[in-house]
Structure 1
Amino acid sequence: MLKLVHRQILKELLHLFALSLGCLLGIILLGRMLQLRDVLLAQNVGGMDLLTLFFFLVPTILLMIMPIASMLSVFLTFLRMSTDREMVALKASGVSLYRMLPAPLIFALLCSAGALFISHHGISWGMNHFKSTLMNLVSSQTRLALQAGIFNQDLSGLTLYAHKVDEQSGVMEFVFVQDKRQKNITVNIVSERAKVVTDVTQGDLLITFDRGRIYRREGTRLDVLRFGTYVIRLPLAELFGGGYDPGERKASELSVAELRLLQEDPEALERVDTTANKVDVELVKRFALPAGCFVLALFAMPIACAFQGLRQHWGLMLSLGLFIVYYTMFSFGVSLGETGVLDPRIGLWVPNILFLLIFGMGLFLSAEERVPRISLRLPRWRFGGTNS
């Protein structure tokens, strides 16, 4: 009987976890789409390309929403069991709250292990592919925009004309370019051949010219230069709306191995858009958030028992409120760690330790049936009015 109970509880936990994760993921992806709308509209990204880009963003989002999804799953499962009097029936059959613990414990370990894998490998994998895919799309769109026999002004500060254009390879023949990116200076480039490529590591769009001349005019002065190879480097941030720069590498986009290398070699920070404090905080966060999945899942079990009889929608709001308390403490620890006021190992682990202590105390009180019946003190919430 006990194995059957554990299987049923675990099955319900997994179903609710998948539902919660899917809903939260959809909401946050919609928000990300609104944030990147300028980028996507500027580059005319298609439907399949859009889905591909969002797929690579999923690991970063999952790490943030898995703690609340695990908490919601356990809270709503045991709240339903309490409301439907299943907890009373199980206790009457000799199944104590302690004996029900294996199912949520296994569920919490699975959630924590999944979050730990994502934090170590999934985030960097997703962000690297997101940026490379986005830059390849930009390169492809740029090649498509370069039509033969037409003066193109889509590139920032450049006017480009090519007699022949190969859309697949990006190779252009008999090319003329006027560069007005510098104030009071006009540069005209005439070349036999040019090619558009993307520098994934630097986040730049490169136009490479072969065999030609440069006419540089500044005021009344004119300089003429003959070249074998000449390169114009355009930061992709200039091609995106909203100031998005895919060439920047932030601490939140690196793998755990890369973060540890930055800790050991501070000089490498110059190649990354971050600081030593942010690296320390991010490294601690990669372990604290997976642990948060475990802690919050267990924490929700005795809390649900305390609110026996509470309706599902109020239970959902209550669990979200408790998560906001946890996340506020966590964010406060991140802010203090990034400013160097507090060691991130303290600021980011205090919420986990505090909620784990509350779980231990709450489990003991619930198992001994000494927890207060909080739901009975909230008649207006339960029934929408006063009891006569």
Structure 2
Amino acid sequence: MKLLHRQIFTELLKLFGLTVACLLGLILIGRMLQLRTLFLSQNIGFFNILQLFFFLTPFFLLLITPIATMLSVFLTFLRMSTDNELTALKANGVSLYRMLPAPVAFCTLCTVFTFAISFWGLAWGMDMFKTKIYQFARTHSKFALQPGIFNKEFPGITFYAHQVDNDKGLLKFAFVRDESIKGTSVVVVAPEARIVSSPETAEVRITFDKGKIYRQSGDELNVLSFGSYSVRLDLASLLGGFNFSEDKAKDMTFARLSRIRKDPARAPNQSPRFMRKVDTEYFKRLTLPLGCIILGMFAIPIAYVFRGLKQQYGLLLSMGLFLVYYSMFSIGVSLGEGGTIPPVYGLWAPNVLYVFVATFGIKYANEERTLPVIELIQHFKERMRAEA
């Protein structure tokens, strides 16, 4: 039995490593494609991009570790079932319960790993990410405009210039529109402007000469003429629009979330919406790691039910089942943050449902019985064929 458990555990680890590597690779490629324009316009190297991605890894791992655990268990037992290894083991008196120590130990290890990320790794990664991206803004970033093209890289601000000399920082027939203040629109127009980047202060300044300012607030429009007017912008916002002064619940450690829930006076923002986000994030940090062991155990009876299924179809099936779990989880997060239901109910519901299915599924799989739901589906198919 020790040899059997060792073989199962080794196969689970191999599949887990492969799954995590593939999912992280896909996320990395997707993020690089999403931000390719930004990276091309800034003096940021590939090594710097990998550094930023490394600090975001805890956030991604918190999401992909449960599905990687489920895929590893599902594909391992599906292969054993397809190769008739499970049949041979049962013929020699080895029940499913005697095979469980290996997947239980593996899922427990994944759960502990995810709890470490949830409690400490996530906050550390986000802090390091913000620090590094601000450092890049101070030392690497530049602001470049293209002639005749509207630039919206800064959140809420649009730039335009008919002629641009980025080497000298000179603009001809330029304007900027600022909609960062809700309900107010400010437009600055001038025949000439200059761009000055200051990496040491992480700022960029655009100085307009002899132009006009159009300020609209509701139905009121004000027009002012000026000799010189400067617009100051934070370069950090150019690298992703991050608000470094804002304290978000998703960036906090689990211990801090617990303290805020016990004493709301410690919260940086005591609005009801922020407190709902704190509650939702608190239960999210608890339920996602437990999803590793729950989904892992859930995958075992599913592999038994769909024995003989090819691995590529099994992969699609398991991804679909996880999508159901994650959809329920996402709905719980949305309802919890919106105040429709308490977060404790919405975020625990998927785990409770999958625990119920996993418990009865393993019992039925050990007895080589078909789940009642599967029997109903088969009965319905036979009835449809008979009627046809």
Which residue of the partner structure matches residue 304 of structure 2?
A: 305
SS of the equivalent of 1:270 reads coil
SS of the equivalent of 1:234 reads strand
Following the alignment from structure 1 to structure 2, what is the Cα–Cα distance between the partners of residues 366 and 87? 11
- Equivalent pair of 1:302/1:363 in contact (CA under 8 Å): yes
> Which amino acid letter does the alignment assign opposite residue 363 of structure 1?
I
Which residue of the partner structure matches residue 268 of structure 2?
A: 269
Which residue of the partner structure matches residue 71 of structure 2?
A: 72
> Which amino acid letter does the alignment assign opposite residue 281 of structure 1?
T
> Which amino acid letter does the alignment assign opposite residue 276 of structure 1?
M
Following the alignment from structure 1 to structure 2, what is the Cα–Cα distance between the partners of residues 238 and 8? 50
Count of matched residue pairs: 323
Question: Are 1:137 and 2:140 counterparts?
Answer: no
Which residue of the partner structure matches residue 200 of structure 2?
A: 197
Question: Are 1:257 and 2:247 counterparts?
Answer: no
- Equivalent pair of 2:204/2:235 in contact (CA under 8 Å): no
> Which amino acid letter does the alignment assign opposite residue 119 of structure 2?
H
- Equivalent pair of 2:280/2:333 in contact (CA under 8 Å): yes
Pick closer, same or farther for the CA change 1:118–1:157 going to 2, 3 Å.
Answer: farther
Which residue of the partner structure matches residue 97 of structure 1?
A: 96
Following the alignment from structure 1 to structure 2, what is the Cα–Cα distance between the partners of residues 320 and 196? 45
Following the alignment from structure 1 to structure 2, what is the Cα–Cα distance between the partners of residues 115 and 291? 8
> Which amino acid letter does the alignment assign opposite residue 239 of structure 1?
L
Which residue of the partner structure matches residue 173 of structure 1?
A: none
Unaligned 5+ segments in structure 2 are: 145-166, 177-185, 206-211, 214-223, 379-388
- Equivalent pair of 1:43/1:138 in contact (CA under 8 Å): no
SS of the equivalent of 1:94 reads coil
Which residue of the partner structure matches residue 367 of structure 1?
A: 366
- Deviation string, structure 1 residues 260-285 (Cα, Å, up to 9, x no partner): 3443235633399x711111101110
Pick closer, same or farther for the CA change 1:371–1:153 going to 2, 3 Å.
Answer: farther
> Which amino acid letter does the alignment assign opposite residue 36 of structure 2?
R
Pick closer, same or farther for the CA change 1:64–1:221 going to 2, 3 Å.
Answer: closer
Pick closer, same or farther for the CA change 1:246–1:152 going to 2, 3 Å.
Answer: farther
> Which amino acid letter does the alignment assign opposite residue 123 of structure 2?
S
> Which amino acid letter does the alignment assign opposite residue 256 of structure 2?
E
Pick closer, same or farther for the CA change 1:153–1:60 going to 2, 3 Å.
Answer: farther
Question: Are 1:3 and 2:6 counterparts?
Answer: no
- Deviation string, structure 1 residues 295-337 (Cα, Å, up to 9, x no partner): 0011101110111111111111111111111111111111110
Following the alignment from structure 2 to structure 1, what is the Cα–Cα distance between the partners of residues 269 and 38? 27
Question: Are 1:56 and 2:49 counterparts?
Answer: no
Q: In the TM superposition, what are the counterparts of 1:229-244 in structure 2 within 5 Å?
A: 234-236=233-235, 238-240=237-239, 243-244=241-242
- Equivalent pair of 2:175/2:188 in contact (CA under 8 Å): no
SS of the equivalent of 1:359 reads helix
- Equivalent pair of 1:269/1:275 in contact (CA under 8 Å): no
Report the alpha carbon displacement of residue 110 of structure 1 after superposing the two structures with TM.
0.5
So what's the TM-score if we normalise by structure 2? 0.73
More moved, 302-311 vs 7-16: 302-311
Following the alignment from structure 1 to structure 2, what is the Cα–Cα distance between the partners of residues 43 and 89? 61
Which residue of the partner structure matches residue 386 of structure 2?
A: none
Following the alignment from structure 1 to structure 2, what is the Cα–Cα distance between the partners of residues 132 and 235? 14
So what's the TM-score if we normalise by structure 1? 0.73
Q: In the TM superposition, what are the counterparts of 1:324-343 in structure 2 within 5 Å?
A: 324-343=323-342
Unaligned 5+ segments in structure 1 are: 159-180, 189-193, 199-203, 208-216, 224-231, 379-388
SS of the equivalent of 2:233 reads strand
- Deviation string, structure 1 residues 46-97 (Cα, Å, up to 9, x no partner): 0111111111111100100111100000000000000100001111111100
Percent identity for Structure 1 against Structure 2:
47
Which residue of the partner structure matches residue 159 of structure 2?
A: none
Pick closer, same or farther for the CA change 1:151–1:117 going to 2, 3 Å.
Answer: same
Pick closer, same or farther for the CA change 1:267–1:153 going to 2, 3 Å.
Answer: farther
Report the alpha carbon displacement of residue 98 of structure 1 after superposing the two structures with TM.
0.4
> Which amino acid letter does the alignment assign opposite residue 311 of structure 2?
Q
Q: In the TM superposition, what are the counterparts of 1:1-388 in structure 2 within 5 Å?
A: 2-142=1-141, 151-152=168-169, 183=188, 196-198=199-201, 205=203, 234-236=233-235, 238-240=237-239, 243-245=241-243, 248-263=246-261, 264-266=263-265, 268-270=267-269, 275-371=274-370
- Equivalent pair of 1:330/1:351 in contact (CA under 8 Å): yes
- Equivalent pair of 2:264/2:270 in contact (CA under 8 Å): no
Following the alignment from structure 1 to structure 2, what is the Cα–Cα distance between the partners of residues 3 and 257? 39
Following the alignment from structure 2 to structure 1, what is the Cα–Cα distance between the partners of residues 347 and 306? 28
Pick closer, same or farther for the CA change 1:153–1:255 going to 2, 3 Å.
Answer: farther
Report the alpha carbon displacement of residue 157 of structure 1 after superposing the two structures with TM.
9.2
- Equivalent pair of 1:70/1:296 in contact (CA under 8 Å): yes
- Equivalent pair of 1:269/1:276 in contact (CA under 8 Å): no
Report the alpha carbon displacement of residue 206 of structure 1 after superposing the two structures with TM.
8.8
> Which amino acid letter does the alignment assign opposite residue 251 of structure 1?
A
Which residue of the partner structure matches residue 147 of structure 2?
A: none
